[in-house]
Amino acid sequence: MKARITVTLRAGILDPQGRAIEGALRSLGIAGVASVRQGKVFDIELEGTDRGAAEAALKDAADKLLANTVIENYRVEVVG
Amino acid sequence: MKARITVTLRAGILDPQGRAIEGALRSLGIAGVASVRQGKVFDIELEGTDRGAAEAALKDAADKLLANTVIENYRVEVVG
Amino acid sequence: MILNELAITPELVAQHGLTPEEYRRILDLIGREPSITELGIFSAMWNEHCSYKSSRVHLRTLPTKAPWVIQGPGENAGVIDIGDGLACVFKMESHNHPSYIEPYQGAATGVGGILRDVFTMGARPIACLNALSFGDPKHPKTRHLVAGVVAGIGGYGNSFGVPTVGGQVRFHTRYDGNNLVNAMAVGLAETDKIFYAAASGVGMPIVYLGSKTGRDGIHGASMASAEFGADAEEKRPTVQVGDPFSEKLLLEACLEIMAKGCVIAIQDMGAAGLTCSAVEMGAKGGLGVTLDLDKVPCRETAMTAYEMMLSESQERMLMVLKPEKEQEAEAIFRKWGLDFAVVGETTPSMRFIVCHQGVQVVDLPIKELGDEAPVYHRPFVETPKPPVIRAEDVYAPVPLAETLETLLATPDLCSRRWVWEQYDHVIGGNTVQRPGGDAAVVRVDEGPKALAMTADVTPRYCEADPFEGGKQAVAEAWRNLTAVGARPLAVTDNLNFGNPERPEIMGQLVGCIRGIAEACTALVFPVVSGNVSLYNETKFAGEESGRAILPTPTIGGVGVLDDFAISATLAFKAEGEAILLVGATQGWLGQSLYLRDICGREDGAPPPVDLAAEKRNGDLVRALIGERIATAVHDVSDGGLLVALAEMAMASGIGAQLDASPSDIPAHAFWFGEDQGRYALTLRANAVAAVVARAQAAGIPLRHLGTTGGDALTLPGERHMLAANLRQCSESWLPAYMAGGPA
Amino acid sequence: MKAVVLVFPGINRERDMARTLELVAGAKPAMVWHAERELPAGTDLVVLPGGFSYGDYLRCGAIAARAPIMEAVRRHAECGRLVLGVCNGFQILCEAGLLPGVLMRNAMLKFICRDVYLRVERSDTPFTRGYNAGQVIRVPVAHGEGNYIADGATIARLEGEGRVLFRYASPDGMIDPNWNHNGAINAIAGILNARGNVLGMMPHPENHVEAAMGSTDGRGLFAGLVDHLERAA
Ligand SMILES: Nc1ncnc2c1ncn2[C@@H]1O[C@H](COP(=O)(O)OP(=O)(O)O)[C@@H](O)[C@H]1O
Ligand SMILES: [Mg+2]
């Protein structure tokens, strides 16, 4: 099974990297960029076929390690 | 308009991040993880309403800055 | 019998960078057509990078011996004795092409590679240096390359945990399509615990250690030897990704099993990975090697024998272990979370045999693979000597003070703080002199002994006169070590040139090597390791031949200080001290930065180096530091005397009242000429007479320049040059440029 | 003083820290491997040194914070015994929840190695008794992610309870954005936990304890700890 966990910064947390990218895009002449926020994705291959179990394991992985829930939100999708 | 650019490592390119995370998940007792690859997402807010123009600008942004196409692939989605 | 899974066509041979004659040589050597894997192995072993086929005959002329040399060229790194049972292990290597294609990863893996060369020999790395050449600041790619390369060098070294303490950065349009990244690593070992590549004993297990093998950089070694075409950016060769975390684990694991006496022979997998390392281990030990590729830890599925043999995946090692210690070694590697696999054994046959999925895919004579590599006496034409430019003929466009401020803010002379602040230069707790001085000084363990190190070359001199330029690069390294009070001991060289198949480029290479050899001999400063990088040129659309880089033979020098407390730094120490100039000044403006950046002329003969005077002057300066007479010392190089004095003032905030220049030299030539073999130093006023007498007795020109004091440099007839203002000029350009400011 | 230095894979300032502890305290600290589950009996001080644990590949300190030894560190802290995290060690303590907040990328997005000035805010803690309140010390930093943030309530609490021990400052002790190289909120360089026995800080006092290396300003921290523990004993 394949899954993707997407981790993004919570609203209100300052994202210096996103800011810098915003500036860089503008100076590259890319028009109309109002804001950029950077996050992470984890593409995970899982053994087994039980979707429910997989989702539980992934949520566990995100809570325990992949996201720092003080500043980050995450989303788990089993994609196939 | 909101868009997301997802940047992932090309197949075959070493992903030290992914490997370290794989190991950590295993030692945390999260079962069934066969492999992890790490990537980035950029959540971008755009001014204007022309979807086609936005997509072109985003592709441009990815090519010029957000992705290193020597080692990375990217995907652009305008999400609304 | 080796079956050919693929017909070897002339196109295939050419794609492997082998000429038809070289292919004929292969046929003669093995008496049959090679398999595709064998062809790949030949191409790796016989390319410029591994075989040194264009440079070898000339490299042989370099002096490599001295009583303190333990290991000269021929191993992973050079080794010198620094006393007290300790050895310094060091080498420099280029990662030029990869750093152009992918600056961050290219530079990072360059650092990783050179660190491996050093710890493979049993040394713990204690410092890194790097010499970087970039294109014109106005070139649209330059910023991106600078940002990526610097971040990559820092990213790897910082994480690995070695201080990066010195180096060089330059800009010139001739590096536009070919930036240079030369990385140097310095390590420490005990003299009786140095490890070498030569295997010994028949039937010994050959062990693979470190990270898994992927399809990284296949054709990388060949890429590093092929001239760039205009389509280089389209080809997108596979880029290697550095993993400093794994390398740190590899370091600790290697040093641990070495300390436990497990290792017979060790070789890192660098360019052309498994192939070069296995062949070298066998050939150097007079043994054959058999490899079973089914045992090689792979990161990717369905890798072919060809791919496994040529992969350049990083952070890998090959070892021959004492069989009785194998389990102990394995346990250590597992503890560090690294792969460990027995992948072959040594044999008495002198054959290199590789099996994959039960099929023998390679059966080659192991010694000949290296020894029979072609050696070329390539034709060369000497670079014609440029005319000497007389100072009287150079028109001085602006006042001295303004000239100084302009020069200090040029890309080649401004402060490199923006670069070295991105490198952790204090980790280890031994960095006595940080970046920014003449040479870095790193304490050895608890001291008081310390090592001084530097990397130098002035490519514009080498371009104008390769012989003098080669001499100058060595002399400047020697001078920088001397300026901190160290005894220069040995060098590593990294020879970066264009296409050696062009006689005028070959002439540059030959000229530079002659100059290096002459200077190293005269200064008793032998070459103990090095690297050659050729084909650094780009063929732009519509051009007949490529545009080569400036000849850039980087010299990495290492010296020793018996007591780091008895050394010198360049900052003025107190007010009221006498400033003296050691060495003769003629006012040499040819190839000076003054001529180039103020007058807009890049021509003339470069300043000649008088090696006897160099030695005399340096020996005096070193003695004055050793006797604690000299209070501040700085060598005079790029930009000339006034720039050197400004650097001493900026480092301290203390100014100086300078005397008028001598009447027989035009003022601009006196202050900005780049005559060689000179040092500016300060003395307490009461020490001057004795030093003057000493210099006179030794026949060394010495000139009083002025007195320290105040907060500005002052020159008769010129406006005051405030140290704080000068610092502003010097510190601003690079950060502003990197933030998108003017080039 | 019985000190231990934790060793996680990828840590690289453990030798610097051990040498400093030996120099100041007179005894070699024990080096404890991350896979252990217990600290040596009688441990007074646990030090988490700087480096790049696990390459800092996920978030700085995130993987190390979940190592087996960290349970023992938590128990040690719960008993009121001392814990010091420097640089990566600070990041690990935050990730482990032993200290609040997060260390984000430096505001200018670059790794920075330079000497900085720190204003010592209080001298009445085991970690700062070797200094005077308001004293300015010069120590190096070397990090890419030292930009401290926490939510408003947490910051208010830290400030209200006097738990900010070190701030980036100008040489004369002024709080000034030009001297805050990483952009940390309120120029925070080091904080205490609520109980006052766990300190995390980004700069490297362990690299400035010998005059030969340019400054001895870092020494006070270690000397103060030795003094504190001797008095307590
Ligand atoms: N320019 C040079 N001067 C002296 N020695 C050199 C030079 N170039 C290479 N060598 C020596 O030749 C040997 C092979 O070099 P190289 O192929 O770069 O080593 P590695 O296999 O470690 O990459 C090394 O011992 C190196 O020190
Ligand atoms: Mg090597």
**According to the 3-state scheme, what is the secondary structure of C289-309?**
EEEEHHHCCECCCCCCHHHHH
Task: Count other Cβ atoms within 10 Å, centred on residue A76.
Answer: 20
> In the prediction, which pLDDT does C532 show?
96
Say which ligand is closest to the CA of C121.
2
> In the prediction, which pLDDT does C390 show?
95
Predicted confidence band of residue C219 (pLDDT cuts 50, 70, 90): low
User: Taking 80 as the threshold, does the pLDDT of residue C510 lie above it?
Assistant: yes
User: Taking 70 as the threshold, does the pLDDT of residue C4 lie above it?
Assistant: no
Alpha carbons C492 and C62: distance in angstroms, whole number? 11
Please indicate whether, in this complex, the C-beta atoms of A40 and B44 are within 8 angstroms of each other: no
> In the prediction, which pLDDT does C741 show?
87
Predicted confidence band of residue C222 (pLDDT cuts 50, 70, 90): very low
**Higher pLDDT, residue C395 or D12:** D12
> In the prediction, which pLDDT does C368 show?
92
pLDDT-above-90 percentage for chain C: 88
> In the prediction, which pLDDT does D29 show?
98
Q: Report the number of distinct structural domains present in chain D.
A: 1
When pLDDT is averaged across residues D63-90 and rounded to a whole number, the result is 97
Say which ligand is closest to the CA of C272.
1
**pLDDT per residue over C650-694, tens digit each?**
999 999 999 999 999 999 999 999 999 999 999 999 999 999 999
C229-238, C290-299, C316-325, C528-537, range with the lowest pLDDT: C229-238
> In the prediction, which pLDDT does C228 show?
47
> In the prediction, which pLDDT does C230 show?
44
**Higher pLDDT, residue C740 or C669:** C669
User: Taking 90 as the threshold, does the pLDDT of residue C507 lie above it?
Assistant: yes
Smallest Cβ–Cβ distance between B16 and the set C216, C238, C246 belongs to: C246
When pLDDT is averaged across residues D126-136 and rounded to a whole number, the result is 97
Smallest Cβ–Cβ distance between B14 and the set C101, C102, C243 belongs to: C243
> In the prediction, which pLDDT does C227 show?
53
When pLDDT is averaged across residues C568-572 and rounded to a whole number, the result is 97
Closest residue by CA, ligand 1 atom 8: C531
> In the prediction, which pLDDT does C540 show?
80
What predicted TM-score, i.e. pTM, was given to this entire model? Answer: 0.94
Residues of B in contact with D57 (CB under 8 A): 16-17, 20-21, 38
> In the prediction, which pLDDT does D233 show?
79
Domain, as residue range, for A48: 2-78
**pLDDT per residue over C573-593, tens digit each?**
999 999 999 999 999 999 999
Alpha carbons C570 and C525: distance in angstroms, whole number? 24
Predicted confidence band of residue C624 (pLDDT cuts 50, 70, 90): very high
- Using an 8 Å Cβ cutoff, are C118 and C71 in contact? no
Predicted confidence band of residue D185 (pLDDT cuts 50, 70, 90): very high
**pLDDT per residue over B13-70, tens digit each?**
889 999 999 999 998 888 889 999 999 999 999 888 888 888 888 999 999 889 988 8
Smallest Cβ–Cβ distance between C424 and the set D54, D142, D212 belongs to: D142
Provide the residue-wise pLDDT of chain A in tens; the chain has 80 residues.
999 999 999 988 888 888 888 888 887 778 788 899 999 999 999 998 899 989 999 999 999 999 998 889 999 999 87
Chains interfacing with A (3 or more CB pairs < 8 Å): B, D
Query: Which spans in C260-383 are helix H?
Result: 273-285, 305-310, 326-335, 366-371
Please indicate whether, in this complex, the C-beta atoms of C336 and D9 are within 8 angstroms of each other: yes
Give CA separation, C57 vs C376, C382, C492, in Å.
8, 17, 18
C668 is catalytic: no
What is the interface pTM, i.e. ipTM, of the complex? 0.92
Give CA separation, C484 vs C434, C520, C702, in Å.
12, 19, 19
Domain, as residue range, for D132: 3-232
- Probe site for chain A from B8, B40, B44, B59 (most A CB atoms < 10 A): B44
Q: What CATH code is carried by the domain that includes residue B66?
A: 3.30.1280.10
**Ordered strands of the C351-356 beta sheet:** C263-268, C316-321, C205-210, C339-347, C288-292, C351-356, C359-365
Q: What CATH code is carried by the domain that includes residue D81?
A: 3.40.50.880
Predicted confidence band of residue C2 (pLDDT cuts 50, 70, 90): low
Alpha carbons C318 and C338: distance in angstroms, whole number? 13
* Structure-token pair, residue A45: 């291959």
What residue type is D39 in one-letter code?
L
For residue C494, the CA-to-ligand 2 centroid distance in Å is 14
> In the prediction, which pLDDT does C546 show?
83
- The rounded mean pLDDT for chain C is 94
C49 is catalytic: yes
Q: Report the number of distinct structural domains present in chain B.
A: 1
Please indicate whether, in this complex, the C-beta atoms of D55 and B24 are within 8 angstroms of each other: no
Alpha carbons C40 and C34: distance in angstroms, whole number? 9
Distance of CA C569 to the CA centre of its chain: 23
When pLDDT is averaged across residues C67-85 and rounded to a whole number, the result is 97
